[in-house]
Structure 1
């Protein structure tokens, strides 16, 4: 079903896209006037989107400086991985009995799309595809509070993928991560909820991975 997108949502998506493309960098002031001009809209929805992103800790509202893109330090990233792993594993368990064959085939489609994105070194596309992959089962968990919490937590990783292209082993790391997506899909198909929960929590969101620039 089509969901009406407000001007604030439109601005939110625009800013998120600019972050993913690397056009907005950590600790760099957000130019509100430029956004207004580029989207041909008033200042109000821009401010609303900035305030929402600030509430999600993607941006920081610095007194006398305005909104700036935050960067995750190693401690914050590790803590996020630990919490997201627990919640994502739980969401997968709740979603498991609700996944239709169509959803499972869609998950397989995005896994294949990620492999193509890695091969072509289109890391921005990889990020978007993996986000959809996880959303496919997250949105079937039946717990709106859990969905909202995970979406907000994962949004904090927007800046984390910037330096993927600078990693010497970027492709091998991402191929390995996508192999984990394949294992997650296998466990979903076989309805192995206990193994699924453990795998997502302890392997896919392993805290040690928070030190890389890869978003999983």
Structure 2
């Protein structure tokens, strides 16, 4: 299902993309006028998108300076992992009895797609496929509040979405993560809702791995 993007959502995605590609970096001020020119839109949707990104902790609204891109600290990343792990595990647990064979086959397809993206060094594609993979069970959990909160928390990591190099060490990190996706899929096949809760919380969102999401 395709979601129609409002002008505010379009600006939101544009800014998030600039940050994730490191064309905008922590500490840098957002140039609202430039965004208006680039997208040929008025100031209102730009302000709305900036306010949303600020409320989600991606930007900081500094008095007399404007919106500045925030630098995530390791402590914050660890705390986010702890919370996201619990909530993502809950979403999987709620969705477990609802997933159909098609859902599971789609998840398997995206796991294979992520493997191809890793091998080709296409990390932007990897991120997109990973987002869809997790989105399959998230959308089936049946709790709109949970979906909204998880989306907002995960958005805080936008600045590290594509910030990976092409060396073998980074590829190995992503391969390990993708192997975890296979375990998650296997747990869904087994209808092991309690196992999903535990695995997502303690392994897939292990706070000890949070430092990989932070620019030191």
Q: Shift of residue 168 of structure 1?
A: 5.7
Contact 2:21–2:163 (Cα < 8 Å) also in 1: no
Runs of 4+ off more than 3 Å: none
How far, CA to CA, are the matches of 2:182 and 2:157 in structure 1? 22
Aligned CA distance change for structure 1 residues 131 and 144 (closer, same or farther; 3 Å): same
Q: Scaled by the length of structure 2, what TM-score is found?
A: 0.94
Contact 2:121–2:166 (Cα < 8 Å) also in 1: no
1:107-147 superposed Cα distances (whole Å, 9 cap, x missing partner): 11111111111111111221121111111111110001000
Aligned CA distance change for structure 1 residues 116 and 165 (closer, same or farther; 3 Å): same
1:47-97 superposed Cα distances (whole Å, 9 cap, x missing partner): 001001111111111111111111210100000000000000010000111
Q: What RMSD over aligned residues (CA atoms) do the two structures have, in Å?
A: 1.5
State whether structure 2 residue 183 is matched by structure 1 residue 190. no
Q: Shift of residue 6 of structure 1?
A: 1.1
Runs (5+) with no aligned partner, structure 1: none
Q: Shift of residue 2 of structure 1?
A: 4.2
Runs (5+) with no aligned partner, structure 2: none
Equivalent residue number for residue 91 of structure 2: 91
How far, CA to CA, are the matches of 1:11 and 1:100 in structure 2? 35
Give the 3-state SS of the residue equivalent to 1:68 in structure 2: strand
How far, CA to CA, are the matches of 1:210 and 1:2 in structure 2? 31
Q: Scaled by the length of structure 1, what TM-score is found?
A: 0.94
